[in-house]
Amino acid sequence: MVYYLIALIVFLIDQGTKYLISSRLQLDEQIPVIGNFFLITSHRNRGAAFSILQNQRWFLILVTIVVVVGIVWYLNKVRKTRRLLPLALALVLGGAIGNFLDRLLTGEVVDFLQFNFGSYTFPIFNVADSCIVVGVALIILDSLLDMKGGSQTEVTEVKETGEAKEGNE
């Protein structure tokens, strides 16, 4: 249950920040936070990450539904036996639902976090995108840790008959 609460918090923070940006700033309006390095910029994206798949609203909605169903199923499967993986899935879930709602209601996602590295401007993103990226990074980390620990099989249970049950911890 705690992982769904984390996903809900991610979703609420994402939607709250998007509401503030869309209701208080004009499109393309910028507020410098750290000089020209970090700006709050009101931007809309009709595609996916890095503006790929522009104007593919229904495809992105369909893919998100499949992904969300898969995350919920897998989260229910691993939440009692793992720690890092369910947290990662909760972050991805909250972010995916946040961007899904934007696409469903308006056909575009509100982005507003802009970083400039000299003459290069990183694609503008939002809280949901950040949580998805952090969640995916944690999923990769969990997989690497599992591979490292999974190479050693340990005896986890000895039954009265003297048989050993092997498994991964």
CA distance 11 to 15: 6
Q: What is the mean pLDDT of the chain?
A: 87
Q: How confident is the model at residue 150 (pLDDT cuts 50, 70, 90)?
A: low
Examine the pLDDT at 112 and tell me if it is beyond 70: yes
Residue in 102, 129, 142, 146 annotated catalytic = 129
pLDDT surpassing 60 at residue 151 = no
- 27-36, 99-108, 120-129, 146-155: segment of lowest average pLDDT: 146-155
Catalytic one of 14, 28, 102, 111: 111
Give the pLDDT confidence score for residue 159 in this predicted structure: 45
Q: Is 142 a catalytic residue?
A: no
Q: How confident is the model at residue 163 (pLDDT cuts 50, 70, 90)?
A: low
Q: Does 129 qualify as catalytic in the annotation?
A: yes
